[in-house]
Amino acid sequence: MTRGIVIGHRIGPDSSSMHGAVLTSDVVRWILYWDKITFAGIGLNGASISGSQPEEIDYLESLGIFKTEIVDLQTLGDIRVPQPKDVGMKIYGIAGNQFPYVSAALRIKLCETLEKESGHIWSLGQSGGESLILPNIDQSKELIDIQLNECLPVPSVGTPFEDILNFKEQYRAELERLRFALDSLREKVISSSDERRALDIAMREISISLEDMRNAMSTNGIKVLNQSLSLYTENPSIGFWSALGGIVGASQGIPYEVAAGAGLAAPTAFTFLKRNLPGGNTLPNPKNDFSYAFKVSDEFK
């Protein structure tokens, strides 16, 4: 099944990049691990802000891999945002400190629309260094943040997009295996399984798949960087934390790192953390797919 990711203007807690240009460092990993990339532009009364993308994006657009979709602000409904600051320019009536929440709402809305129209899986994507922000600031959402710490193999900046796409075609089975392993871990988390062995197997499969991907890229002369990836899904019930033996750490908001030293076979270091994030109670199909954020651990330290 096709996997897509919805991105947008880069956002932080109190600021954003209004020009919306994506970074090549983000694109190289998106096109490796997802099949489609859609940028959520802002529309209002026929006008729009769709980002000024770098020239190399034209190549991906010509292949139908990258595209921009405009989401009209009037279709978002009631999005609660912080009180506007007195300083700074407003665009479409949105102040700088309000924009991150509106941008997040645009991505979620587009995820839901694309899933309904295409029947494929679409994920909410965060750019490198972005915090996970959800719309409706007067509410909160309790999620589990599953971090793969500095172990996701990503092509280095400067790797030609064509080389990455050729690699994907050659190693499609290995990529599908990694996707399946991530889905399997998600299912173990959501079901709150108290079977430690089943959780161990799921994490072991991810570790093996990551190592296979790293070796394959190295064999093909693709320079590789190791990056952290956070995968957000609904916080499971007590059974899951009991399986990890980390119930105390979870209740205190302390990361619980799981690796071979913790009694599991998985050589990759996983961190499981319950996070109470400001924002709304909606994520695109939280029971069916993850929201992804890269290097998000740097934001929460």
Write the CB contacts of 97 (distance below 8 Å, at least 6 apart in sequence).
14, 15, 82, 84, 85
**Whether residue 44 is found in the same domain as residue 106:** yes
The values of phi and psi at residue 183, to 5°, are -65, -40
Q: Yes or no: say if 151 and 226 are a contact pair by the CB < 8 Å rule.
A: yes
Q: What is the pLDDT of residue 297?
A: 44
Pick the last residue of a domain from 75, 100, 124.
Answer: 124
Gap between the Cα atoms of 301 and 282, Å rounded = 25
**Whether residue 77 is found in the same domain as residue 103:** yes
Report pTM: 0.85
Evaluate whether residue 295 is within a structural domain.
no
Within the chain, which residues score under 50 in pLDDT? Answer: 247-248, 260-263, 265, 296-301
Question: Residue 142 forms beta bridges with which residues?
Answer: 276
Q: What is the pLDDT of residue 257?
A: 60
Gap between the Cα atoms of 215 and 95, Å rounded = 46
**Whether residue 100 is found in the same domain as residue 149:** no
Pick the last residue of a domain from 64, 89, 124.
Answer: 124
Q: What is the pLDDT of residue 51?
A: 74
Q: What is the pLDDT of residue 254?
A: 55
Q: What is the pLDDT of residue 97?
A: 77
Q: What is the pLDDT of residue 203?
A: 84
* Tokens found for residue 159: 């790797």
Q: What is the pLDDT of residue 197?
A: 76
Question: Residue 264 forms beta bridges with which residues?
Answer: none
Domain of residue 66 covers 3-124
Gap between the Cα atoms of 42 and 294, Å rounded = 23
| Coil/strand/helix, residue 215 | helix
* Tokens found for residue 234: 């609904």
Q: What is the pLDDT of residue 159?
A: 92
Evaluate whether residue 292 is within a structural domain.
no
Evaluate whether residue 195 is within a structural domain.
yes
Q: What is the pLDDT of residue 255?
A: 59
Q: What is the pLDDT of residue 300?
A: 43
* Tokens found for residue 81: 């945002």
Domain total for the chain? 2
**Whether residue 19 is found in the same domain as residue 96:** yes
